[in-house]
């Protein structure tokens, strides 16, 4: 009989190869949506509506990551996996999660820079009550969940950011509207720092809590649900767009 792997051993394991199929499905959905098309051709009004409309999520995300980080230290995980296992996993992930949180705080500021490139002033132009579709997206990500689901949802956010950025950065119409500084949020999400990406780290933390091998259909359903919520939210932001 195979020995049960520890949390840390599962964290150190390679990602399943089918993750790439999940990324491709998300990229296709995002790049083929109307909102991405309008940004691609450099429609400034659409871009302004998106920057304002999605702001609540961007503003909340660093806090959501912070809550996720704290939830790992829950007593129930210690009871289920044992103190030694939890401490060794937390040792491996603590620094990384702190980094993800501070990076997301930087990205929040870069989002405002993109707004500035479109003539938007913070906080004056960002006070709009979020649309119900945007609230639903935030709720879906922030909802209380088990660690596997929670970290899959964080990975979904990384996949969304990377997909939209990889789609838009090659468009000269898009980059011409935003200029160098305004493009920074998107440029950053297309390059990987040396080492493991945030998406991979989130997935590895989530998979560490999997009993047995991760199941593709379940992981795909969790990730695509967040991607679908995002696309619906982004499309809703454009309801005022001519
Ligand atoms: Fe980000």
The pLDDT tens digits of the residues spanning 72-118 come to: 888 788 788 888 889 989 998 888 888 888 999 999 999 999 999 99
Distance between Cα 158 and ligand 1 center (Å):
7
Please give the distance of CA 123 from its chain centroid, rounded to a whole number: 23
Q: pLDDT value at position 180?
A: 96
Q: Which two tokens stand for residue 142?
A: 């922030």
Contacts of 203 (CB under 8 A, 6+ apart): 15, 19, 151, 152, 155
Query: Is 142 domain-assigned?
Result: yes
Q: Helix, strand, coil % (nearest 5) of the chain? A: 75, 0, 25
Q: Which two tokens stand for residue 26?
A: 């998300």
Query: Is 231 domain-assigned?
Result: yes
Query: Is 198 domain-assigned?
Result: yes
Give the whole-angstrom CA distance, residue 84 versus residue 78: 8
Query: Is 1 domain-assigned?
Result: no
Q: What is the DSSP letter of 210?
A: -
Q: Which residues of the chain have pLDDT under 50?
A: none
Distance between Cα 241 and ligand 1 center (Å):
25
Q: Are the beta carbons of 136 and 229 closer than 8 angstroms?
A: yes
Q: pLDDT value at position 58?
A: 97
Domain that holds residue 103: 7-237
Distance between Cα 155 and ligand 1 center (Å):
11
CATH number, domain of 161, equals 1.20.910.10
Q: In this structure, which residues have their CB less than 5 angstroms from ion ligand 1?
A: 107, 161
The dihedral sign for the CA sequence 71, 9, 93, 17: negative
Most distant pair of Cα atoms in the chain: their distance = 64
Report how many domains make up the chain: 1
Query: Is 92 domain-assigned?
Result: yes
Q: pLDDT value at position 190?
A: 93
Q: Which two tokens stand for residue 116?
A: 């500035």
Distance between Cα 6 and ligand 1 center (Å):
30
Query: Is 147 domain-assigned?
Result: yes
Distance between Cα 162 and ligand 1 center (Å):
9
Q: pLDDT value at position 74?
A: 83
Q: pLDDT value at position 78?
A: 77
Distance between Cα 8 and ligand 1 center (Å):
26
Distance between Cα 104 and ligand 1 center (Å):
5
Query: Is 2 domain-assigned?
Result: no
Query: Is 195 domain-assigned?
Result: yes
Distance between Cα 193 and ligand 1 center (Å):
13
Distance between Cα 161 and ligand 1 center (Å):
6
């Amino acid at each position: 009989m195979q020995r049960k792997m520890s949390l840390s051993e599962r964290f150190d394991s390679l990602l399943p190869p089918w993750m790439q199929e999940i990324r491709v499905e998300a990229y296709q959905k995002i790049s083929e949506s109307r909102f991405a098309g309008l940004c691609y051709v450099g429609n400034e009004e659409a871009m302004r509506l998106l920057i304002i409309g999605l702001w609540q999520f961007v503003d909340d995300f660093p806090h959501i990551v912070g809550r996720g980080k704290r939830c790992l230290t829950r007593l129930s995980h210690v009871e289920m996996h044992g103190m030694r296992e939890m401490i060794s996993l937390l040792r491996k992930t603590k620094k990384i999660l702190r980094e993800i949180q501070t990076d997301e705080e930087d990205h929040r500021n870069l989002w405002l820079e993109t707004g500035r490139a479109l003539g938007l002033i913070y906080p004056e132009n960002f006070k709009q009550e979020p649309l119900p579709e945007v609230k639903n997206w935030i709720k879906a990500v922030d909802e209380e969940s088990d660690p596997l689901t929670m970290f899959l949802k964080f990975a979904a956010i990384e996949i969304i950011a990377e997909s939209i950025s990889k789609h838009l950065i090659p468009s000269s119409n898009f980059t011409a509207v935003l200029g160098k500084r305004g493009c920074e949020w998107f440029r950053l999400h297309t390059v990987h720092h040396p080492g493991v990406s945030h998406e991979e780290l989130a997935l590895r933390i989530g998979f560490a809590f999997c009993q047995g091998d991760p199941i593709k259909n379940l992981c795909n359903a969790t990730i695509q649900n967040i991607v679908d919520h995002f696309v619906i939210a982004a499309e809703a932001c454009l309801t005022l767009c001519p």
